Amino acid sequence: MSHPGVPAHREEASQVEPGTPRSSIWQGFLGTASVVAYALLFELARNLVLNSLGESPAVKVAAGTLRWLSVLVVAAAAVYVGYRFVQRYRERIRTANELALIADLVEPGPRVTGVDPNPAPDSTPESDLPHTDPDWTDEVIAVVRDLRMREFETAALLAVLTAALDAPAHRPVEQGGQREPPSAASVLLNNLLRHTPPRVEIVGAQRYRVLEVPAHPERAQVIAQARWPMAVTALVHHYADLTTQWAFALDSVRFAAGARRWFEAQEANLSALVTACVSLGEDIPATAVAELVRIGDALDGWYARTGDGASQAARAAELCSVHGMKEIVLHGDLARMRAGDLHEKPRRYRPRNLSTSLAARWEHDAALRLLIVPPGHQRPPVDFAAASARLEASWWLLPREDVAGEVCALINLAVVHIHQGRLDAARDRLELAESLTRGGRDPDGRAHIQETMGIMWWARGEFRRALRSWQQALTGYRALDDRLGTARCLQHLGSAMVSGPERGGSLFAADPSVTTAEVQRQASGWLKEAHRLHDGYVPHNNECYAERYIAKLRSALAGTNHTVLDQIDTWPLPARDPH
């Protein structure tokens, strides 16, 4: 199969590790029937004690204790029901806020053939800066000059100009003085465009390039004025809002495809913006640093989706070097962790839920480092027990409202158990994770659960259940336009058809004429598509599983009238998620 090999031995049910619950224990214990049963049981025991032993003082104490136990059970149930109600209410409010945040997004359309998908970055090297007019003095355009960026999207440039123009309105007016009304940013931009020669030019759709800037005032004067911090913060805030919205949209079935296209088009510009902010050194305002944190969080989610660990570490390292990041201790430590530069467990912060989230991520990263297998023939054995312990510690540290974090930890814990051959424990972890994602929460995590569940079923010899799980996962990934997840599921299904083409009927529409050769031919198309999707997002290892299985299919089809496909012909049948 396309996943790593699984030990043949299996565990007994009694060997399941008790540390992480397989489901919500309290839901069963404090269900209505259980509560009534326990209360009646304690009351019955009290009556038996009184009737059997009489009314001595010791018996009265025991009977009173039994009555209070029944009251305690009912009270505990009431507290739990109230707690769950509050949790569900908060979840509904959070979901409503996220939906409101992305409700007005307009998805970018598919890229037009022949157009560069990655426009020129916003940052500009010193050798390519605009021409400086020694006779021109303009405090507002001088701010644009000192940003050291030559190209701007229209909305971003208007945000900078508006902030710079409005800055004087935030200063107190001297006694007897009168404040001049600020000019409109659009009017100023139009004047720059119509100037002879033009001082800006339009390049592409809704994009401007600065051609000429004033020589005065000098940079030191610009930095000292109120226009500078407001303009820089406005620029970073503009992109922070956009990236936050589209990061939420990545996990929305409705907007996932458009969000992916937006990040593909804007990732280079966002990275260049971070680089430009680093180059400002001590001149970057503290308010802009807080907005950069939001951009870093959104890019981290994007890189996690595409599997681009190198870019993830590079952006995090740049954020670590932003002046003022060390003062935001919690976010500074998070950036260092993403960059792989946090070598000791982070200390406690306030608020506590953020502190425990950071500690959980540190434990999670430490576990993943234990699972890394260095290349070479003499590979040391992986300490799965230690990795399992760290992943479980990470799960316990996570706040209960962090559903995506819990799901991620439980999936990785299940993968470790599969490698250990502890398949019952792996199933328990996946069932708990599955229960957390019902009701539309974390749809990408749910698809990943179903994919891992398919691997678990395959290791148990449950061929049909494995195929069904991978079909469900593939359906979920395609709905979210998660190309890396889609590639993995196509690879799972395609490689499964190499070993068992006679069982591939459930992957196609009902057709009695489908032969094993046709199943294998279609599977070769799935593997080709998996290879193509992998190739576009993550660097390939020296060993490509899809290519290996395509070679096997080529050999299997050599004596037939079929040949392997160069591209996908028929997709596997979609499978509906029952929840």
Q: Which domain range does residue 539 map to?
A: 514-578
User: Which two three-digit tokens encode residue 385?
Assistant: 């027990």
Per residue in 10-21, pLDDT (tens digit) is 333 333 343 444
Instruction: Of 536, 552, 447, give the one whose Cα is nearest residue 496.
Output: 552
Assess if residue 277 is contained within a domain.
yes
Amino acid identity of residue 82, one-letter, is G
Q: DSSP per residue over 83-134, as a string?
A: HHHHHHHHHHHHHHHHHHHHTT--PPPPPPTTS-SSPPPSB--GGGPPEEEE
Predicted confidence (pLDDT) at residue 340 exceeds the cutoff of 70: yes
Residue 13 lies in a domain: no
- Residue 57: pLDDT over 90: no
Q: Is residue 63 part of a domain?
A: no
More confident residue, 142 or 1: 142
In this prediction the pTM is 0.77
425 and 286 in one domain?
A: no
pLDDT at 126 over 60: no
Average of per-residue pLDDT across 366-380? 76
Distance between CA 418 and CA 455 in Å, rounded?
A: 8
Instruction: Name the least confident of 230-239, 323-332, 339-348, 425-434.
Output: 339-348
**Displacement of CA 216 from its chain's centroid (Å):** 45
Output b/e per residue, 471-484; b: 16+ Cβ within 10 A. bbbbbbbbbbbbbb
Q: Which run of H or of E encompasses 415?
A: helix 403-420
- In the prediction, which pLDDT does 513 show? 74
Q: pLDDT class for 80, splitting at 50, 70, 90?
A: confident
215-228 pLDDT, tens per residue? 999 999 999 999 99
Least-confidence region, from 50-54, 151-155, 166-170, 382-386: 50-54
Token code pair at residue 567: 């591209």
Q: Which two tokens stand for residue 551?
A: 């070679």
Whether the per-residue pLDDT at 297 is higher than 90: the answer is: yes
Residues 271 and 295 in one domain: yes
Which among 155, 182, 147, 185 has a CA at the least distance from the CA of 166? 182
Please give the average per-residue pLDDT across 494-519, as a whole number: 86
Is there a single domain that holds both residue 295 and residue 153?
A: yes
Instruction: Give the phi and the psi of residue 354 in degrees, each rounded to 5.
Output: -70, -35
pLDDT tens figures, 441-476? 888 999 999 999 999 999 999 999 999 999 999 999
Q: What tokens does 489 get?
A: 């599921």
Same domain, 455 and 533: no
Which of 15-24, 109-118, 444-453, 497-506 has the weakest average pLDDT? 15-24
Domain identity same for 147 and 293: yes
| Low-confidence winner among 58-62, 280-284, 563-567 (lowest mean pLDDT) | 58-62
Of 123, 163, 122, 171, nearest to 143 by C-alpha is: 163
Q: Answer yes or no: do 334 and 394 share one domain.
A: no
Question: Do 412 and 532 lie in a common domain?
Answer: no
Q: Is residue 12 part of a domain?
A: no
* Continuous H helices in 213-343: 219-224, 227-249, 256-279, 286-306, 309-320, 329-338
- Mean of all residue pLDDT scores within the chain: 81
In a domain, 563, yes or no: yes
Q: Which of 464, 481, 498 delimits the end of a domain? A: 481
- Looking at the structure, do residues 311 and 395 belong to the same domain, yes or no? no
The label of the residue with tokens 């995590």 reads 445
**R_g (Cα) of the chain, nearest Å:** 30
State the total domains in the chain: 3
State mean pLDDT over 423-427: 96
Q: What is the β-pairing status of strands 131-137 and 151-153?
A: unpaired
Considering Cα of 525, then 472, then 495, then 485, what sign does the dihedral take? positive
Q: Is position 216 within any domain?
A: yes
- β-strands 200-202, 212-216 pairing: unpaired
142 falls in which pLDDT band (50, 70, 90)?
very high
How far apart CA 201 and CA 499 sit, in angstroms, is 61
Report the distance separating Cα 10 and Cα 576, nearest Å.
30
Phi and psi at 569, nearest 5°, equal -110, -55
305 with 324, same domain: the answer is yes
Residue 141 forms part of a structural domain:
yes
The CATH number for 397's domain is: 1.25.40.10
Q: Is 190 a residue whose pLDDT tops 50?
A: yes
| pLDDT attached to residue 54 | 59
Domain presence at residue 101 = no
- Do 248 and 188 lie in one domain? The reply is yes
Q: What is the pLDDT of residue 40?
A: 61
In a shared domain, residues 228 and 149:
yes
Q: Same domain for 353 and 335?
A: no
